[in-house]
Structure 1
Amino acid sequence: MGSSWNWKTNVSISQRARHESGSVEGMSWPVNVHDGALFGGTDISDTLYMFGGTTMSFNQSFPYFLIPPTEQYALWTYDIPGDLWTPFDTSSSGITIPSWGASSETTDQGLAFYLGGQIDGGTANTTQYLGEDTVGLGGMVVLDTTSSVTKNVTVEDTIKSNRKGASMVYVNNFGDAGVLILLGGKSDFDGYLPMDEISIFDVKTTDLSDDASGEKNKWYQQNATGSIPSARSDFCLVAAPSQDNSSTSIYMYGGRSDGVIFDDIYVLSIPSFTWVKVFVGEDARWSVTCHFVPPRQMITIGGGGKSSNISADCDWEQKSLAVLDLSTIGWGSIYDANAPPYQVPDAVVKVIGGSPEGNASMIKPSAGWAEDALATVFTIRTVTSDPSEPPSATTSTISSPTSSSSSNDSAETTKSISVGAIAGIAIGGVALIALIGGSIFFFLRSRRRNQQQHQELLIEKDGLPDYSTAAFLGSAELLGTPHAAELSARDNDSGPNCKPGQPGPVEKDAGAVQGRHTSNRVNTPIEME
């Protein structure tokens, strides 16, 4: 990621084999899951934190299919230099293994968050009795990555934490410690949640003690205006601040609702809480992960296409990648390591005022704050001329635009959003996705150390724990020496993520993919928007 590349011609990646390390319940490493989260820890950490996730029911016929033998180990850490996986027993905190929740992290503060989600038949061998049923989860799990301490924090009912398929992004250029922005998803009680209802967590109030109460772990609600997106789940978020921090654009891409898959991009501009539609296409995506690569590019990885059933629908983004310029809203195949500074899209500037460099004139909601305290929470931090100094908080002064901005983004939800090296572990894992995601992670880790930039990533792991009854089928690639692969353009075959006989991959917005499939979560016919 330190140099430019074009996935059509010269994406070069290397694979690192997984080796046995510490074990628990016969597991040398966590099994392959989706809909969990991968956190990167602090800016100087060499440890990854894998939390939650579930196995995919339609993969049961695969030779490497495994279900976790116990649900008490919701958290695994991976020491990168030592190549060592370590499980943590989270049962004493009342935490089981969640999936399909919303996650984000604050790498500058060493905190990671996972809200809501569910347990299902793929969570552990003790939950297989659920079959196709699910049990929704409420509350928010907070992980201190400096100590691996976890706590399930109670969330007030108005936030509707019992939601699935939502997304959450960290924005750190407001207030004393930044905020988490929670959007969308679906609730067992309320169905799909409207996108004008924005939930906000004040990171400064985070408290993992047993007596946390009152203004601790504080959530707020704020209504948004503008071009409100359709309610949905399984979308992704990234956030990019203007050069002077006067506004932050939260980009929402893709997703799905009952019978509809979306190919659109909306920007939620804060602190005005105004939605602006900036893109609509014809190549819908859902359960895709988005990764903000400073200063102005978003890389999407994996996900599903126009079918809502990934088991029958290969990945239609060739090489599992697409690259978006967040300023011009132009899709392409080229990652530019020397991209110019971020500029607020013209469509957003027309609504919030100012210029592409910043100086937004709308710096509060048009109908006012839902609570007076939010005016303090969204105090805008000025950009300092000395990048070694932290930004200061002020409500009255915005400095002149500069070429460097205060760090802020998503993982990813994802993660990702998004600030923090966090990845929602994607549906339909492919080794090539893991390798590309790994490159993004290590590049961003280096940039965070040197420039205090924060970022989302995707790393998905494969391999075969030694307790598997199919262990004898393990290949040399899984159990042997590392190897490298050069991903050249493939014009005449089915591409790296399609099975033989399936239609070949298409580029972004290159036309419709035919066919209808039933979904693992949606049983209605699929349309596209």
Structure 2
Amino acid sequence: MEVALSLVICFVGLSWSSLIAPYRSLSLRQADSFVTSSAFLRRGHHASAVLDGFVYIDGGEFSYTAGGETVWQYSDTLVSVSLTQNWTNKTVPMNSIAKRSGVPNLVRGGLWVDHVNKTLYTGFCGTPSSFGDKPFVPNGLWQYTPDREGSSGKWENLNDTVSSSFQNEIRPNGCLVASGKGFGYSLGGLVGGYDPNDDYNASGLISYDYTTGDMTHTTVVGGSTRGVVQNGGLIFVPNFGPAGVMVSIGGDQLGKITKGALDLVSMNTVQLFDPATGNWYEQAVTGNIPEIRKDFCVAGVASDNQTFEIFLYGGWAGQYGSAALPYDSIYVLTLPGFNWVKADYPARNPRTGLTCEAVGGGQILTIGGLDPTHKDPNNRYMGTYETSDPMTHGLGLFDMGSMEWKGSFIANASVYTPSDVVMEFYKTHSRLSALNSTELTALFSVQNFTGTSTVNTVSSPSPSSSSPINKRINKGAIIGGVVGGIAGLALTVVAALYFFTRSRRLQPTTNVAQPSYDGYEHMPELETAGANACNLVPKTEMPTNEVYELAGGPSQSNLNILDTVENRATK
């Protein structure tokens, strides 16, 4: 019915803006977070994870064009990307999965992954969006078990079976999140409201046991940040130590020097956690060390050379405009050598609030990212969503073996061989010579490599253009009653257009496009000028008896709040 109404609107020539105007007083909510590539602008501050042949993208915010105007919204669906077939970011198979009532829609949150039981966990980190209807999100832990097709699954609230802390303690956002060896981890984060003066950093490490459901909160002793950190990277490395090793990289700390101020964490060292002993360590790094930054993403891959490489991409130091440009950069940290190398490509499209996932072999999928070079004089935070992402759907692919961007994903890639620059490092350096304590030398002497690459990804909470296939896409459910006396004729046209559109929507395209590196002074045009309601097709999972309001951006009364929220987003 929603498809029919949207097409009727196109038929009678009504504009999107004229439709929204009568419903400005309604609660604004987004029914589906996946839009056509011609309308899509930006996605950011979401969470993502790889599970059983799919990448899942949850929460966050996104923007798109409708009637020639920018619309800002939060995501209330779960998006899946198939890793079972080859694709480009023009032909990528995606699904938009409806959430049952009560499942949280969070910004700057995270996902835990249980590969044994094939489940995802959410609700432990994140904050409600200030876009749309600014939803209230009760505390609690939720579990999602997907089906084999990645197109649906079962949501379950775990509040009756897990620690009451998930409900009773204030939920932080911007946590550093990782999963491994039967546990989910959440380090630090930000706790507070809309007034930055009331914000403070959560401290310590939360560990959740997937088997028992037990949650522990431990103090961090031994690392320079003391677990007081946000917007950095945390990654679980299963290939070293008796129970793996966790690596914390960068980010920032709130109020370390002055209340309300920000202090970026040094990139000259990383913090290491040994789950077997509960000990933390500070480890120096060498090489081409990244500039201090936050809101970047990290992902990791084990190599056939018995090393583990950590990919780091994007981020910023909190400065808008041209000062953010150099942060369009990729670095790779090799373990156990703890040496950084930098990818060689021109810095033209920096992005923050993104995620990245290791998706087989040495392939890294980058997802989303906001534009810190764009400065909106009315609201800086909203301005980062206003430019068109030069990567179709906000998706990019980087190959760590060749250290270059790629135009297509190759399914079933398993073996990853490090780049020449990484291999050259180990020709002149002993594998364990960089470790600065006997305890760390002993820890990294325990190695668990299987001969083929393993992947592990995490991102800080938080690269060209055509429509995807196998998706349920969307935008805005249109409230009934829009059309009147022409219903008979319109419905006839609707039926024909619906089936024509549906058949075309399922035809894959075959063009392979390399990511664009054009500067922001010449942003690429959208595929179709003035994308509107005619380009936005609602998803099909909605119950037919539910009424959804029109999707739209924040009201004018919310702009002052959002400008304050921008301060929180830079923390």
For normalisation by structure 2, the TM-score amounts to 0.61
Which of the residues 87, 90, 104 maps onto 1:31? Answer: 104
Which letter maps to 1:199? Q
Which residue of 1 is the match for residue 547 of structure 2?
A: none
Q: Secondary structure at the match of 2:93?
A: strand
Which residue of 1 is the match for residue 516 of structure 2?
A: 508
Which residue of 2 is the match for residue 285 of structure 1?
A: 351
Which residue of 2 is the match for residue 476 of structure 1?
A: none
Which of the residues 224, 229, 242 maps onto 1:176? Answer: 242
Q: Aligned in 2, Cα 1:16/1:463: closer, same or farther, shift over 3 Å?
A: farther
Which of the residues 289, 300, 308 maps onto 1:248? Answer: 308
Which residue of 1 is the match for residue 182 of structure 2?
A: 110
Give per-residue Cα distances to partners, 1:249-306, cap 9 Å, x unaligned. 1111111103143111111111111111123431111111010012110001112124
Q: What does 1:87-486 align with in structure 2 at a 5 Å threshold?
A: 87-88=158-159, 90-92=163-165, 95-106=169-180, 109-121=181-193, 130=195, 133-156=198-221, 158-160=223-225, 161-188=227-254, 189=256, 191-205=263-277, 217-245=278-306, 247-259=307-319, 260-261=323-324, 262-280=327-345, 281-307=347-373, 309=380, 311-312=382-383, 313-314=385-386, 316=389, 317-339=391-413, 341-353=415-427, 361-366=429-434, 369-381=435-447, 383=449, 404-405=452-453, 407=454, 409-413=455-459, 424=461
Please tell me whether residue 2 in structure 1 is matched to residue 84 in structure 2. yes
Give per-residue Cα distances to partners, 1:209-261, cap 9 Å, x unaligned. xxxxxxxx21111111121111010111111222031x221111111103143
Which letter maps to 2:309? S
Which residue of 1 is the match for residue 154 of structure 2?
A: 83
Measure the CA separation in 2 of the matches of 1:38 and 1:332: 27
Please tell me whether residue 16 in structure 1 is matched to residue 97 in structure 2. yes
Per the TM alignment, residue 35 of structure 1 is displaced from its structure 2 partner at its CA by 1.1
Measure the CA separation in 2 of the matches of 1:31 and 1:383: 37
Q: Aligned in 2, Cα 1:235/1:16: closer, same or farther, shift over 3 Å?
A: closer
Which residue of 2 is the match for residue 446 of structure 1?
A: none
Per the TM alignment, residue 177 of structure 1 is displaced from its structure 2 partner at its CA by 1.4
Which residue of 2 is the match for residue 417 of structure 1?
A: none
Q: Secondary structure at the match of 1:180?
A: strand
Which letter maps to 1:292? A
Q: Secondary structure at the match of 1:257?
A: coil
Q: Aligned in 2, Cα 1:523/1:140: closer, same or farther, shift over 3 Å?
A: closer
Which residue of 2 is the match for residue 451 of structure 1?
A: none
Q: Aligned in 2, Cα 1:103/1:490: closer, same or farther, shift over 3 Å?
A: same
Which letter maps to 2:184? A
Measure the CA separation in 1 of the matches of 2:196 and 2:290: 33
Measure the CA separation in 2 of the matches of 1:472 and 1:115: 46
Decide whether the 8 Å contact of 2:302 with 2:308 is kept in 1: yes
Q: Secondary structure at the match of 1:164?
A: coil
Q: Aligned in 2, Cα 1:162/1:486: closer, same or farther, shift over 3 Å?
A: farther
Which letter maps to 2:272? I
Per the TM alignment, residue 487 of structure 1 is displaced from its structure 2 partner at its CA by 8.9
Please tell me whether residue 53 in structure 1 is matched to residue 135 in structure 2. no
Q: Aligned in 2, Cα 1:228/1:518: closer, same or farther, shift over 3 Å?
A: farther
Which letter maps to 1:319? H
Which letter maps to 1:255? G
Q: Secondary structure at the match of 2:99?
A: coil
Per the TM alignment, residue 202 of structure 1 is displaced from its structure 2 partner at its CA by 0.5
RMSD of aligned Cα (Å): 3.8
Which letter maps to 1:239? G
Q: Aligned in 2, Cα 1:523/1:175: closer, same or farther, shift over 3 Å?
A: closer
Aligned length: 393
Q: Aligned in 2, Cα 1:301/1:346: closer, same or farther, shift over 3 Å?
A: same
Q: Aligned in 2, Cα 1:489/1:32: closer, same or farther, shift over 3 Å?
A: farther
Measure the CA separation in 1 of the matches of 2:203 and 2:476: 31
Which residue of 1 is the match for residue 45 of structure 2?
A: none
Q: Secondary structure at the match of 1:411?
A: strand
Decide whether the 8 Å contact of 1:50 with 1:76 is kept in 2: yes
Per the TM alignment, residue 4 of structure 1 is displaced from its structure 2 partner at its CA by 0.3
- Structure 1 stretch displaced more, 374-383 or 249-258: 374-383
Per the TM alignment, residue 91 of structure 1 is displaced from its structure 2 partner at its CA by 4.4
Measure the CA separation in 2 of the matches of 1:139 and 1:524: 21
Q: Secondary structure at the match of 1:410?
A: strand
Decide whether the 8 Å contact of 2:111 with 2:177 is kept in 1: no
Q: Aligned in 2, Cα 1:364/1:47: closer, same or farther, shift over 3 Å?
A: closer
Q: Secondary structure at the match of 1:234?
A: coil
Task: Give percent identity, aligned residues only.
Answer: 24
Per the TM alignment, residue 65 of structure 1 is displaced from its structure 2 partner at its CA by 2.9
Q: Secondary structure at the match of 2:423?
A: helix
CA radius of gyration, larger in: 2
Per the TM alignment, residue 374 of structure 1 is displaced from its structure 2 partner at its CA by 0.5
Measure the CA separation in 2 of the matches of 1:463 and 1:148: 38
